[in-house]
Structure 1
Amino acid sequence: MTAVSDADDPLARERAHLAASRSALRAMRADVEALDLRDVTANWVNSEVLQHQIDDRIKALADLAHTPLFFGRLDYLHAVGAEEAEGAEIKKGSEATSLEGRRRETGGQFYIGRRHVHDADGDPMVIDWRAPVSQPFYRASKTAPMDVALRRRFGYTGGELTAYEDEHLSDPAEAARTSKLLQQEIERPRVGPMRDIVATIQPEQDEIVRSGLGGTVCVQGGPGTGKTAVGLHRVAYLLYAHRERLARTGTLVIGPNKSFLHYIEQVLPALGELEVKQATVDDLVAHVEVRGTDAAETAVVKGDARMAEVLARAVRSHVTLPTEALMVVRGSRRWRIPSYELEEIVQELLDRDIRYGAARDALPQRIAHAVLVRMEQAGEAPDDRVQDAVARNAAVKAAVKSIWPPVDPAKLVLRLLSDADFLAAHAEGILTEEEQKAVLWTKPARSVKSAKWSAADAVLIDEAGDLVARTHSLGHVVLDEAQDLSPMQYRAVGRRCTTGSATVLGDLAQGTTPWATRSWAEALGHLGKTDAVVEELTAGFRVPREVIAYASRLLPDIAPGLAEVESVRESPGSLSVRRVSDLDAEVVAACGEALAHEGSIGLIAADARVPALGAALASAGLRCLSPGEETTPDTRLTLVPASLAKGLEYDYVVLDEPSAVVSGEPDLRTGLRRLYVALTRAVSGLTVIHRADLPGQLG
């Protein structure tokens, strides 16, 4: 690493470029703020839309004081070719800036940062990390330099550029070495929400990030491999490469709970992407108020993919084949459609297997067409207006209501769960009698509003709703912590990207629900993305080697055959396992020790232990937060129920009574998986405090 001093001219020049880039960014923002819309648009609606776009652009151009404007530099051996320069052209709103001018000036020197910045002449001063010309910053090596002569990384302290580090990739005399600045950035303590990783993306991660929009990618990654960050950065990349298309179709990030979404919510805005929505699966299917809970065995059956066929049968059962002829009176003429012809029309619609609501909308038009055929045979010349009028005829409407009545998805599910005979009729040959008894309510509800719906019931209503009317599909969906979804939940997510693609992120070893995913092939089948590419990340960058090795002792029992994460971080002394007699007191003492270090602290415990530990911390004068609450330099300790720990990270973790974490789950395997999650939340140090015996797998 190059030393920092006033006499260091290269560092001084880099600081000058940073200052000039910040000034250019302020000028870009001022240009947007100065736009006058008064004579631009023809009406107030267009004006409002344009003003909203401009406001978003102004937000995206904010200069965040503690976020470095650029983190690297590439010096190419040769000027960038015309084809690559065109590929790196940036089009954002009305802005279009080419690299050609800068390329002529520098001969191929580019600063890589979180966003594009150009000077008054339109020449780029900072290149967006997503541009093709930036790719070698992540992938170039001594063996494959990609025409890069020098890769320079920058070190920052509090937003100030304080160091730089050079790699001469084209110099055979210089040996390959580990970047100290890169290692420091990876290991930097975390306080507050998750940060972006644009400065530290690794080659195998970059390959996934830059994969195309057309295909679905499934990322299997153990703790600390960066799978969540990879998924979020892939969204940012896709929005850069396919902005217009995704602006029309939309993007969505789906997380396991609100705490997790709060933890990751600042990553995309920090990269200038403000329009990506975030939700949980429960948010997607919030058609009714969830006030009830299911026993594990009940939730497993309701989440089984076989329930989709039960619902499909129940929906189609509302169709009644006609037994009487239809008489349509128009003016002085009467037109008769015999029952057998009506039956043929209805049967044809059933055979087409289109959605219930679409078929119901088509039925009056089919009947009207049959009437028009008779009119033409009688010498009349009806047109489309006549057909539409016949379709609205009272007799036709009455026939449609009788044959193909409307279906309310919530009322349908209510009847299935309340009426044993109705359920048996449509679950025959699909669900066993025991399974049918498991899903039936012991106290049937009288109405949709009074019912105590569970989360699994809401998913069933969503499925029924899609059978009636097509669910809106988005351009791209990111599904994180996917291993915990039931087959029916996968179907609910899949409906949101039937015409788009998805990024599926998860770790089979961290599946902690009774219906947890057994294989990605099975999960992707339920999602409707059987052609997805499955990638595995096995290099760990956050969890210390000693900690991940300790947690990995559980893998043979919780995920046989799954590759163990190989951590690149060596941190001797990062793991401490203590057996104590006074559990609460020792846990509080361990939290006090952790607070002596810089960074965030998480006290993870079995859900049932959280109230007692909260009281113990309060008695000791240690203020703690709940998951999702913002940490501050003065309040860095979070008390985390084990059920909410998934996806979260803390610099130091104190784990309370592992045996209680295991016993708090319905079965041993699920309990061990929950423990695996809790053990792998630490990125600097883990202290395990226990009074009872540890699970045998931990030795």
Structure 2
Amino acid sequence: MPTHETIEPPDTSLDEPAQAQTPLDGQQSDPALVAEQAHLAESRTALRKMRERTESLEAQGGNPVSTEYLKAALYHRAKALVDDPRTPLFFGRLDYTAGEGPYADTAGTPATAGTAGGSESTRGTVTAHGGEPFYIGRRHVTDAEGNPMVVDWRAPVSRPFYRASRSAPMGVDLRRRFGFSHGDLTAYEDEHLSNPLEAAQESQILEEEIERPRVGPMRDIVATIQPEQDDIVRADLSGTVCVQGAPGTGKTAVGLHRAAYLLYAHRDQLRRQGVLVVGPNDSFLRYIGDVLPTLGEIDARQSTLPELVGRIRIRGEDPAEVATLKGDARMAEVVRRAVWSHLREPSEGLVVPRGARRFRVPGYEAAEILRGIQARGVRYGAGRSILPQRLAHSVLLRMEADGDSPDDRVQDAVARSKPVRAYADVLWPAVGPARLVFRLLSEPAFLAEHANDVLTPDEQERLVWSKAPRTAGSARWSLADAVLIDEVADLVDRTPSLGHVVLDEAQDLSPMQLRAVGRRCSTGSATLLGDLAQATTPWATRDWSEALSHFGKPEAHVEELTKGFRVPADVIEFAARLLPSIAPTLTAPSSVRRTRGDLLVHATPSVAEWTVACVRTALDRPGSVGLVTADSRVGTLRAALDEAGIGYALLGDENDVDARLDVVPASLAKGLEFDHVVLVEPAEIVAAEHDEVTGLRRLYVCLTRPVTSLQIVHDAPLPAALLG
């Protein structure tokens, strides 16, 4: 039964640092800015009243169960209406030209947002150009009469904010962008799209929002979505999209915003079917965890792959070559054969006593029933459920031939009878997924029986445990084992399909892992996000078309994002030196930022001392700091920081604390970003991987984490590929 709880307002004790942007010259006393500030205040008041109305509704379910369901619905609605004063309620405004707005053909319909030019509310009016103004924000806000004060960024009327241009104004006369600090409106910029003679200018507000220092979890990008990103965000639910995105192109944010858009456009369907976000690790999920709630979406579930396939406890880890083999697509055929090998040909007929009579189904007829069910392509478990009914039907035919008139209730009784159940259990025995994989990994003969023409003898020998545990319960299962168990479980009983799945860092999944995630949206759609240049697992994909085939969506459309909005130009150009070695087929990324960032390389025998000095320098600047190093060097650098009295959080530590400085093992750096990065000993990061190419890919990941500055500290020579 649904439950509800008190909704706490957001914690404002830790406000985000002031935005880098400052009020544009002369705007602080501008009457238009004053009017916009008034509209912001009125909109916040309206949002508060919307939430109060929701929370004040008394449950009128009619009975206890309905009342609880209504309370739960109201709770979720109120939670979605929570206003975070640190976040701008709206970030833009569109003024449509006369006759071009969404209500242009509706006589007598009032305009739906305020206009600049006065301190009093101007809802229900039009702009100076005769058109309608719309304030674009993170969620829909209405006044007491239902008039929209802020329009959701996902609404069709909002799309021109991201797509309109002077060459294609989409009916928009004026596009206004707002600058904010601590949730307060500080500035605005106007673009008159209906005037083709007005010179186009770069948006200072847009650039400052993109480059604003990052502190804490990942933020949404609704104010800065670019046209090529918008195409992906608004892609139809019926299709699967694969995004190949270079570092800093916003692919993760695009995937999350697509989930938010689909939840808005297909709310009833996706609420019913579910939306899942799959990330590479818990640290990554914590980092992105606030994005969807900020956009008012609280229905999407987030998970890592181990949680998704966690039918057993994962306690072990395979060597790279074994994990790669277990993740090979050929293993799907091995386990399929092993599952269906449990079927048995009948050695005798079925005899069912009914009163004083006995009815017999010959063995050859039972065999035909068995083959007929299998030919239907049903899951193993479904066939096991069908068999007793089919055997009972044959018994009923004999009862009718004997003069009886049995009905469906008799057939059900026969199907549940002890002789039929016992006979069916022999022909179609139960299969336990964990037990089956245990046999494959512990019994060489059983594995050879099902893998002889699929895997080589050497591969089979590598798969079998050298020292097999006594029971499946005592086995130290690995993630690769759990994926195999999940494959067997799907062969036995179909895995329920969700409406949409967002899979990040998809390039790092093996074929069997891709199958595991793909079956969670077999009748739905997906958004796959990744970068082939950042593939760092031994089993990683090298081609998106192959990966999509394993995922079960070969028809998916692949989009490539190469414009970097976060990584500075100097840094991305330096890291791109590795591309010819790690991903020669990819287009080199470029940075669209005017500031090139800071890149310093320090060669020194005193690595620990220089690292501490670089960290201090980074901490003297605004924003977050990441100290990235090979996993094996984390302990040494932590000791140096402790000795220097510098506080930090260790990424991946469940008991980590809030701190501006994160110590980041290279294995956990993927998907994260920091304003300033201090990277220690690139050669060690490369050497830690099982081969040089994978090591260079790991280094590429680490090099592309900064938003403002990168300092490299090393004693060992830099990798040759990085020297250019």
Task: Tell me which residue corresponds to 2:11.
Answer: none
Matches within 5 A, 1:572-591: 572=596, 574-591=598-615
- Partner amino acid, structure 2, of 1:194: M
Q: 2:495 aligns with which of 451, 471, 474?
A: 471
Corresponding residue for 1:125?
149
> After superposition, where does 1:434-513 map in structure 2 within 5 Å?
434-513=458-537
What pairs with 1:578-617 in structure 2 (closer than 5 Å)? 578-617=602-641
1:3 aligned partner: 25
- 1:103, distance to aligned residue in structure 2 (A): 9.2
What residue is the counterpart of 1:137 in the other structure?
161
For residue 633 of structure 1, report the CA deviation from its aligned partner: 12
C-alpha spacing 1:363/1:290, structure 2 compared with 1 (3 Å): same
Instruction: Decide which of 25, 33, 37 is 2:55's aligned counterpart.
Output: 33
C-alpha deviation, 1:81, in angstroms? 5.5
Identity %: 60
Residues 1:669 and 2:689 aligned together: no
Corresponding residue for residue 98 of structure 2? 78
Deviation at 1:628, TM superposition (A): 5.7
CA distance in 2, matches of 1:121, 1:634: 43
Letter in 2 for 1:63: D
Are 1:53 and 2:73 an aligned pair? Answer: yes
Q: Answer whether contact 1:191 1:633 (CA < 8 A) is retained.
A: no
Letter in 1 for 2:89: L
Distance 1:344-1:637 versus aligned 2 partners, 3 A rule:
same
Output the CA distance in 1 between the equivalents of 2:170 and 2:111: 21
Residue identity opposite 1:678 in structure 2: C
Structure 1 pair 239/624, CA: closer, same or farther in 2 (3 Å)?
same
Aligned position for 1:285: 309
Judged with a 3 Å threshold, the aligned counterparts in structure 2 of structure 1 residues 630 and 653 are, in CA distance, closer, same or farther, namely: farther
| Cα distance, 1:42 vs structure 2 | 2.2
Q: Which residue of 2 aligns with 1:639?
A: 663
In structure 1, the partner of 2:562 is 538
* Distance in 2, Cα, partners of 1:436 & 1:460: 15
Q: Is the 8 A contact 2:571 2:597 kept in 1?
A: no
Counterpart CA distance in 2 for 1:285 and 1:374 is 46
The question of 1:165 aligning with 2:189 is answered yes
Q: What residue is the counterpart of 2:283 in the other structure? A: 259
The alpha-carbon deviation at position 627 of structure 1 amounts to 1.9
Structure 1: runs of 5 or more not aligned: 90-96
How far, CA to CA, are the matches of 1:633 and 1:165 in structure 2? 39
Superposition pairs for residues 324-473 of structure 1, below 5 Å? 324-473=348-497
Asked if structure 1 preserves the Cα contact closer than 8 Å seen for 2:674 and 2:707, the reply is yes
* 2:7 aligned partner: none
Q: Give the 3 Å change call, closer, same or farther, for CA 345–410 of structure 1 in structure 2.
A: same
Query: 50-59 or 257-266, which moves further after superposition?
Result: 50-59
Per-residue CA deviations over 1:618-664 (Å, capped at 9, x if unaligned) read: 11111111226799998311000000000000000000000000000
Report the Cα distance in structure 1 between the residues aligned to 2:104 and 2:403, rounded to whole angstroms. 68
Which residues in structure 2 correspond to 1:290-329 (within 5 Å)? 290-329=314-353
Residue 394 of structure 1: how far off its partner (Å):
1.2
Cα displacement string for residues 138-185 of structure 1 (whole angstroms, at most 9, x for unaligned residues): 001111111111100000111111100001111122111110000000
> How far apart are the structure 1 equivalents of 2:673 and 2:26?
32
SS at match of 2:570: helix
Q: Provide the residue aligned with 2:63 in structure 1.
A: 43
- Partners of 1:83 and 1:334 in 2: how far apart? 77
1:390-419 residue CA offsets vs partner (Å, 9 max, x unmatched): 111211111011111111100000011000
Q: 2:256 aligns with which of 232, 237, 246?
A: 232
Partner of 2:205: 181
Count of residue pairs the alignment pairs up? 688
Equivalent residue in structure 2 for 1:222, among 232, 243, 246: 246
Q: Structure 1 residues 670-679 or 372-381, which shifts more?
A: 372-381
C-alpha spacing 1:676/1:5, structure 2 compared with 1 (3 Å)? closer
**Does the residue aligned with 1:614 lie in a helix, a strand or coil?**
helix
Q: What is the CA-CA distance between 1:52 and the residue it aligns to?
A: 1.2
Name the structure 2 match of 1:16: 38
Give the drift of 1:105: 3.1
SS of the residue 1:105 aligns to: coil
| C-alpha distance in structure 2 between counterparts of 1:534 and 1:502, whole Å | 12
Residue 104 of structure 1, CA deviation:
6.1
Contact 2:320 2:538 in 1 (8 A): yes
Q: Kindly indicate whether the alpha-carbon contact (under 8 Å) linking 1:224 and 1:540 is maintained by their aligned counterparts in 2.
A: yes
CA–CA separation in structure 1 for the residues paired with 2:519 and 2:655: 36
2:560 partner SS = strand
In the aligned structure 2, how far is the partner of 1:48 from the partner of 1:192? 36
Q: Is the 8 A contact 2:285 2:302 kept in 1?
A: yes
TM-superposed CA distance for 1:437, in Å, is 1.1
- Contact preservation (8 Å) 2:178, 2:189: yes
Q: Which moved more, 1:672-681 or 1:394-403?
A: 394-403
User: Could you list the per-position Cα deviations for residues 77-110 of structure 1 after superposition, in whole angstroms to 9, with x for gaps in the alignment?
Assistant: 1345568999xx9xxxxxxx99599996323110
Residues 1:150 and 1:315: Cα distance change in structure 2 (over 3 Å):
same
What is residue 552 of structure 1 aligned with on the other side?
A: 576
Partner of 2:88: 68
Q: What RMSD in Å do the two structures reach over aligned CA positions?
A: 2.0
Cα distance, 1:642–1:633 mapped onto 2, change above 3 Å: closer
| 2:231 corresponds to | 207
CA distance in 1, matches of 2:173, 2:622: 37
Q: 1:123 Cα deviation (Å)?
A: 0.6
Query: Alpha-carbon deviation of 1:471?
Result: 0.6
Q: What corresponds to 1:93 in structure 2? A: none
